[in-house]
Amino acid sequence: MTSNLRSHYDIVVVGAGPAGASAAYWLARAGADVALLERKHLPRAKTCGDGLTPRAVAQLTDMGLGEFLEGHHRYRGLRANGFGRTLLLPWPSHPSYPGYGYVVTRHDLDVAVARNAAQAGASLFEGVTATPLCEDGRVVGVLAAGRGEPAPVRSRFVVVADGSNSRFGRALGTERVRAWPMGLAIRGYWRSPRSAEPWIDSTLDLRDEQGKVVPGYGWIFPLGDGRVNVGVGLLSNSPRWKGLNTTHLLERYVETQRGAWALEPDPASPAPTGGKLPMGLAVHPRAGAGWIAAGDAAGSINPFNGEGIAYGYETGRLAASALATALAGEGDAALMGYEHALEEAYARYYRLGRLFVRVIGRPAVMQAALTAGMRSERLMGGMVRVMANILRPGAIAVPELGYRAAAVLAAAVPEPGGRAERAAVPEQRPPAPAIGEEPAA
Ligand SMILES: Cc1cc2nc3c(=O)[nH]c(=O)nc-3n(C[C@H](O)[C@H](O)[C@H](O)COP(=O)(O)OP(=O)(O)OC[C@H]3O[C@@H](n4cnc5c(N)ncnc54)[C@H](O)[C@@H]3O)c2cc1C
């Protein structure tokens, strides 16, 4: 697949998930010469709940994929279960987002978005693994390895969109703030006669083998094709995090749901798989000499709900906008503008999200809050607006006013691993290696 790769592009994008495909699409639309490199062959499976919220739908529609979405399973909102109660919470109205979401397997979604970027003018290469190509502390492109010998591909800038483990980003010196919580989740596919339901289903009182509530949630997302995506997600700041086995937790969750959903194994689906969820913009830095990181490689998942697809599309788009400015003559100064754009779009909201996660990481607090919340449909409806980040700008209503007050309080609460602490920690990693050198282990 590397045979058609040229030796130079304006931009090389590493990874064709939501962040990379979106960056490539918006860059191609801006007239840039873009290579989008994906190490797997598309379509490929990706461990995910497959849930698209109104924010994700808005981004996909902006990329011209509204018709594609219409061929998939649309849902109206969330059914929240817990502490003996069930609430139906439709997506609230918003001037910029639709009142519905979709459930689409990443197998089907990612290939459509990547090919859409190619149709817009990006050159898509599959089966190509990229590693950084650096000169004098600056990224000047990638080494692209396909079937044959790795080949240098130079570019003016590189977009790092290689997902949650981000080996490419780590080689450039990105790090996750370890004092901030992370998510861990596992999912599999089952068959169910309720696969066409118009609600995604969430269990808020997920329990371990002793029947104790654990910080996290279980989900069943109907795909509309006879299957449902079933998974559990956990927070790393829970006191019981280390002792919990997610596979066993998922097995127990499936057992509790089997009767209600008439769950049957899906012979065509592989065994459940899990992954990490880097949240709350926990990865630093997000830009450097010649490169920009987007999506999970920048830790952009929403800490309130574990949603990352929409933020992959959004940060990919922000990265494309900064790079279009850089290509137009502003150079690296525009990359620092990307850091500012991220801060402006998410910093306040994600800081509150990180505090929320710290607080509900205590099982007793989480249990008390949810027991109270599940008694009020209005309160939980407002929480959905906050947690899915579909707040109306300038609105004078309870969720927005509550959010603004909480965000002010969160800004005043000291945070471990915050900006001041990070600045005090000396740089642990060497700068990006020079061309021909091995990256540090
Ligand atoms: C179990 C689980 C459930 C989840 N459920 C949801 C959900 O329901 N809704 C939601 O919004 N989010 C969900 N998320 C989060 C979501 O999956 C991620 O946030 C999202 O995929 C991030 O997109 P990305 O483009 O940054 O990275 P990815 O989707 O991981 O894409 C990165 C791509 O880069 C490629 N790549 C990696 N290294 C290289 C390389 N060196 N060279 C070339 N290519 C490379 C990979 O093959 C991959 O295709 C879930 C996550 C997990 C683990």
Structure tokens at 57: 């739908």
Q: Which of 261, 268, 262, 207 is nearest to 238 (CA)?
A: 207
Beta-bridge mates of residue 34: 11
Nearest atom of ligand 1 to the alpha carbon of 187 = 1
Amino acid at 308: G
**Strand locations in 256-354, DSSP E?**
264-265, 273-277, 283-284, 287-288, 291-293
Pairing of strands 123-126, 101-103: unpaired
Mutational pocket test of ligand 1: of 39, 304, 311, the residue with most ligand atoms within 8 Å of the beta carbon: 39
**Predicted TM-score (pTM) of this structure:** 0.94
Q: In the Cβ-directed half-sphere of 54, how many Cα atoms lie within 13 Å?
A: 21
CA–CA dist 145, 167 (Å, integer): 15
Environment class of 405 (CB within 10 Å of its CB; exposed 0-12, middle 13-18, buried 19+): exposed
The per-residue pLDDT for 407 is 85
What is the structure's pLDDT at 433? Answer: 39
The CA angle 21-26-27, to the nearest 5 degrees, is 95
Q: How far is the CA of 297 from the centre of ligand 1 (A)?
A: 9
CA distances, 72 to each of 9, 60, 91, 196, 418 (Å):
35, 13, 18, 11, 41
Closest CA to 434 of 45, 140, 157, 153: 140
> Which structure tokens are listed for 204?
């808020």
* Residue 321: count of CB within 10 angstroms of its CB: 18
Assigned token pair, 376: 């009020």
Place of tokens 């609105």: 395
pLDDT at 394: 83
List all residues 6 or more positions away from 146 whose beta carbon is below 8 Å from its beta carbon. Answer: 1, 2, 3, 5, 125, 127, 128, 129
- Give the model's pLDDT for residue 440: 36
Nearest ligand 1 atom, CA 297 = 26
- Ligand 1: atom nearest CA of 56 is 11
Q: Give the alpha-carbon dihedral of 421, 235, 294, 140, to 10 degrees.
A: 60
CA 14/CA 285 separation, integer angstroms: 17
Q: What is the pLDDT of residues 210-233, one digit of tens each?
A: 888 888 899 999 999 999 999 999
Residue nearest to atom 2 of ligand 1 (CA): 48
pLDDT at 123: 98
Whose CA is closest to atom 4 on ligand 1? 48
Q: Is 231 left (phi over 0), alpha (psi -120 to 50) or beta?
A: beta
Ligand 1 mutation target, pool 14, 38, 48, 277, most atoms within 8 A of CB:
48
Distance 160 CA to ligand 1 centre (A): 12
Residue of 217, 219, 7 whose CA lies nearest to 103: 219
SS3 236: coil
Burial of residue 145 (CB within 10 Å: 0-12, 13-18, 19+) is middle
DSSP bridge pairs for 369: none
d(CA 377, CA 319): 38
**250-308: pLDDT as tens digits:** 999 999 999 999 999 999 999 999 999 999 999 999 999 999 999 999 999 999 999 99
* pLDDT tens for the chain, residues 1 to 441: 556 999 999 999 999 999 999 999 999 999 999 999 999 999 999 999 999 999 999 999 999 999 999 999 999 999 999 988 999 999 999 999 999 999 999 999 999 999 999 999 999 999 999 999 999 999 999 999 998 889 999 999 999 999 999 999 999 999 999 988 899 999 999 999 999 999 999 999 998 888 888 888 999 999 999 999 999 999 888 777 777 889 999 999 999 999 999 999 999 999 999 999 999 999 999 999 999 999 999 999 999 999 999 999 999 999 999 999 999 998 999 999 999 999 999 999 999 999 888 888 777 877 788 888 888 888 888 888 888 999 988 888 888 888 888 888 888 888 887 665 565 544 444 444 333 333 333
Backbone φ/ψ region at 100: left (φ over 0), alpha (ψ -120 to 50), beta = beta
The length of the chain in residues reads 441
Atom of ligand 1 nearest to the CA of 294: 26
Q: For the residues of 291-354, what is the DSSP string, one character each?
A: EEE-GGGGT-B-TTT---HHHHHHHHHHHHHHHHHIIIIITHHHHHHHHHHHIIIIIHHHHHHH
Output the pLDDT for position 56.
Answer: 98
pLDDT of residue 1: 53
The span from the CA of 288 to the CA of 203, in Å, is 41
pLDDT at residue number 384: 87
Question: Bridge partners of 152?
Answer: 143
Q: Whose CA is nearest to atom 3 of ligand 1?
A: 48
Contact 20, 294 (CB under 8 A): yes
Tokens of 384: 């959905």
Query: Read out DSSP for 238-279?
Result: STTGGG--HHHHHHHHHHHHHHHHT-EE-TTSPPPEEEEE-B
